[in-house]
Amino acid sequence: MRNDAPPNPLTAELGAEGNPYDLIGVGFGPSNLALAIAAEELDSERNCLFFERSSRLRWHPGMLIDGSRMQISFLKDLVSLRNLASPYTFLQYTKAKGRLEQFVNLNDFRPTRLEYQDYLEWVAESFSGQVRYNSEVTRVTPVRRTGEDAHRLFRVEARDVVTGQTTVRYAANVVHAAGGRPRLPDGGVCDSPAVVHSSDFLPRFPGHFADRSRPYEFGVAGDGQSAGEIAAYLLSRYPASRVHLLLSGSALRAADSNPFVNEQFFEGRANHFHARTKPDRTGLLAELRNTNYAVVEPGFLDDLYRLVYDDEVRGTRRLIVHPGTKVTAVGADGASLRVAVTDRRGGDEEMRCDGVVLATGYVRALDESMFADLLPFLREESGDLVLSPDYRVGTTAELEGGFYVQGYGESSFGLGDTLLSLLPFRAKQIFTDICKQTPPPVRTRRPVEVSKASAYPPPHYVETDPKKIYAVMERFSFATLISARGAEDPVVTHLPLTLDRARGAHGVLFGHLDRANPHVQLIDGHQLTVLFHGPNAYLSPQVFETSVLPTWNSMNVHVRGRGRLLPDRAALLAGLSGICVKSDPGDDSYRLDLDDPRIDRMIEHIVGFEIEIHELVGRFKLSQELDDQNRMLAASALSATARRGELELIEEVVGLNVVQG
């Protein structure tokens, strides 16, 4: 692609051809999240943008089974092994959540997957301004501008999956980390909710088989950890059902995770692997395959076998293992499924199942549609991308823009390429190489410097007493709800929110929105920010006995938490009734009549939601730096000024003298 418009980096909008991003990331999972951290910590002046097709960062949502644990230490997080002082370590996360001591007290190096997902989302919140969620990249095109002899830019097109709107941005480098696509049988899979890949297991499969007392026949295809965990899940939750475990090997095998083998996932081993000849790399991959592929964590195998043994004690066998079989197709057969399998001797047969889960792994290959314009520029070796030691894809001389991949280089860097262990090191290598290859950004003015010597807000303005914080939230319940659809697209709604202190770790807020409000699409499952605005007022130096400059005192509370849309009418009505009770207490006060026909007409147009509070910050600027006498004078002036200012404003806006009762 060739563009003729001359670039002007001093005036062009960021992301335009004349002022491209330093890098655009395709996908915002753990790999590109680690890259975002590296970019902030190594050179925060660089401009980065990430496109993610999901509504939030989602890491293996199909396998967040209750109690399932990580297979690596919490120290192998996004950054610890590169920078222990980073604010984005797993331990910093547990501290921010208020449970560091409890986590240490567990004496366990492996957190649950559910907690690790929450850790990833906690980190991702800090980079929300750089991420466009609900945005699926559809095309990446090399660009050669007028007067240049090579393609030095990329044109990236992304489609908003909600609105269908297309966004175009330009970048000097593209980092692709969108993960693999599910590996499915060669003969195809019918379109039925009864057959899913493991990546969709929890969101889709249990809901389709809601009656857990029925005697279902389930099929699970796969030899690895996911297949084992899904089999155990089905055996535990469907006591009358049988599970057919379809293995390509002769039996479930334990992963080799001894410390000597695990040294293969040290920082320097990826580069040592890369330096080997291709035949050596191929041989080493085969030799170490049992550390990651078609294997199960040894302790979990013991737990699964205990389930099988307990069945034997009860005189039944609900786990039926089919060794040496490969699923070749899954088709519909009335109310059940027809599963075509081939055994290792070449024999074909069919099974009947009510539901099938394909724990068959992923295919790691560049999307031929997304990269159709880029593929002709890429170099290959025996079908694999040619990668530099810094994960840059080798290209023809006509392309000088940097194209990097994360998770697509197993043949070049070894088995650790698709694992979490090497993320901090790989992110540093990629970002450092981008900085070497890409000139620093042109700036029209010196950026505002933020002091790193002191905290903000100042510690003496931070209120930690929950009683005082809750008092502001309940007295000034008309709040500001803030979300973001993208880096430059904030969504703000002003609305009443009522607090239930008794629920959750820090309380739960209830609110409601007009269905037409765009905020409705940004609530369910999303992290939200709420501001509660208490009294505030300008204070003249004449208020104080001490000589001070004019100031502005205020009381505000910042809340962060995860939103949840209320699923039914009863929950919505309970919340609406709560607004009346909390806002107008007293035996003779108005109460919502739930049989009033006007309510049914109203709730057709509104949506109720809750926010489970995860973090509360009170910012109370009340002249704390002064002595008690001056603080009392400041508080008196704040009270009088705030009331007077509100009354005068209301009279001005309404146009009538307000009678105070």
Check which CATH number belongs to the domain holding 324 and give it. 3.50.50.60
For 458-526, where are the E strands, in sequence order? 462-463, 478-484, 490-496, 498-500, 508-514
* Single-letter residue type at 278: K
Model pLDDT for residues 351-371, shown as the tens digit of each residue = 999 999 999 999 999 999 999
The residue among 198, 239, 199 whose CA lies nearest residue 219 is 198
User: Binning pLDDT at 50, 70 and 90, where does residue 652 land?
Assistant: low
16-20, 300-304, 596-600, 619-623: the lowest-pLDDT one: 596-600
Whole-angstrom distance, CA of residue 153 vs CA of residue 399: 9
169 and 226, same domain (yes or no):
no
Model pLDDT for residues 580-589, shown as the tens digit of each residue = 888 888 777 8
The residue that leads in pLDDT, 184 or 653, is 184
228 and 371, same domain (yes or no):
no
User: Binning pLDDT at 50, 70 and 90, where does residue 288 land?
Assistant: confident
In the chain, the percentage of residues whose pLDDT exceeds 90 is: 58
Report if residue 113 sits inside a domain: yes
Helix (H, G, I), strand (E, B) or coil at 525: coil
122 and 207, same domain (yes or no):
no
605 and 615, same domain (yes or no):
yes
Whole-angstrom distance, CA of residue 126 vs CA of residue 130: 9
Q: Per the structure, how many domains does the chain have?
A: 3
**pTM for the structure as a whole:** 0.69
The residue among 363, 341, 362, 361 whose CA lies nearest residue 351 is 341
226 and 311, same domain (yes or no):
yes
Of 326, 347, 362, the one marking the end of a domain is 362
Whole-angstrom distance, CA of residue 421 vs CA of residue 115: 17
Report if residue 272 sits inside a domain: no
Q: Does residue 489 register a pLDDT over 80?
A: no
Mean pLDDT of 293-319: 92
Report if residue 480 sits inside a domain: yes
60-69, 85-94, 289-298, 482-491: the lowest-pLDDT one: 482-491
Model pLDDT for residues 258-267, shown as the tens digit of each residue = 888 888 878 7
Helix (H, G, I), strand (E, B) or coil at 58: coil
Report if residue 38 sits inside a domain: yes
Helix (H, G, I), strand (E, B) or coil at 651: helix
End-to-end CA distance of the chain: 72
Sheet holding 153-160, edge to edge: 2-3, 135-145, 153-160, 166-171
Q: Which residues pair with 557 in a beta bridge?
A: 532, 618
Helix (H, G, I), strand (E, B) or coil at 180: coil
Model pLDDT for residues 459-482, shown as the tens digit of each residue = 888 988 889 999 999 999 999 999
Cα dihedral: 187, 190, 194, 199 (round 10)? 60
The residue among 647, 660, 457 whose CA lies nearest residue 555 is 457
For 372-518, where are the E strands, in sequence order? 380-381, 384-385, 402-405, 462-463, 478-484, 490-496, 498-500, 508-514
147 and 250, same domain (yes or no):
no
Model pLDDT for residues 602-617, shown as the tens digit of each residue = 888 899 999 999 999 9
Report if residue 445 sits inside a domain: no
| Cα 567 versus chain centre, distance | 23
* Single-letter residue type at 617: V
503 and 624, same domain (yes or no):
yes
Report if residue 284 sits inside a domain: no
Q: Which residue has the tokens 């293995």?
A: 247
User: Binning pLDDT at 50, 70 and 90, where does residue 449 land?
Assistant: low
Model pLDDT for residues 533-577, shown as the tens digit of each residue = 998 889 988 988 888 899 999 999 999 999 999 988 888 989 998
486 and 626, same domain (yes or no):
yes
87-96, 152-161, 407-416: the lowest-pLDDT one: 407-416
Model pLDDT for residues 382-416, shown as the tens digit of each residue = 778 899 999 999 999 999 999 999 999 888 888 88
Whole-angstrom distance, CA of residue 449 vs CA of residue 431: 23
111 and 136, same domain (yes or no):
yes
Q: Are 604 and 572 in contact (CB under 8 A)?
A: no
Q: Does residue 373 register a pLDDT over 90?
A: yes
Give the dihedral sign, CA 578/582/587/593: negative
User: Binning pLDDT at 50, 70 and 90, where does residue 646 land?
Assistant: low
Q: Residue 454, CB half-sphere, CA atoms under 13 Å: how many?
A: 8
495 and 555, same domain (yes or no):
yes
pLDDT value of position 119 = 95
Of 338, 362, 386, the one marking the end of a domain is 362
The residue among 325, 308, 326 whose CA lies nearest residue 317 is 308
Mean pLDDT of 624-628: 88
User: Binning pLDDT at 50, 70 and 90, where does residue 4 land?
Assistant: very low
The residue that leads in pLDDT, 451 or 117, is 117
Whole-angstrom distance, CA of residue 209 vs CA of residue 219: 13
For residue 469, give its domain range. 459-654
Helix, strand, coil % over all residues of the chain, rounded to 5: 30, 25, 40
Q: Does residue 93 register a pLDDT over 80?
A: yes
| 292 to 64, 165, 286: CA distances (angstroms) | 19, 40, 11
Report if residue 604 sits inside a domain: yes
Q: Are 469 and 618 in contact (CB under 8 A)?
A: yes
The residue among 130, 129, 137, 113 whose CA lies nearest residue 58 is 113
397 and 418, same domain (yes or no):
yes
pLDDT value of position 34 = 97
Check which CATH number belongs to the domain holding 469 and give it. 2.30.110.10
Across the chain, mean pLDDT equals: 88
Q: Does residue 500 register a pLDDT over 70?
A: yes
pLDDT value of position 271 = 83
314 and 212, same domain (yes or no):
yes
Q: Which residues pair with 136 in a beta bridge?
A: 159
pLDDT value of position 452 = 52
Residue 142 neighbours by CB under 8 Å, 6+ apart: 1, 151, 153, 154, 155, 373, 374, 377, 398, 399, 401
User: Would you give the DSSP letter of residue 433?
Assistant: H
Report if residue 373 sits inside a domain: yes
pLDDT value of position 657 = 64
Q: What is the largest CA-CA distance in the chain?
A: 96
CB burial of residue 413 (10 Å; 0-12, 13-18, 19+): buried
pLDDT value of position 638 = 80
Model pLDDT for residues 192-238, shown as the tens digit of each residue = 999 999 999 999 999 999 999 999 999 999 999 999 999 999 999 99
Of 340, 362, 384, the one marking the end of a domain is 362
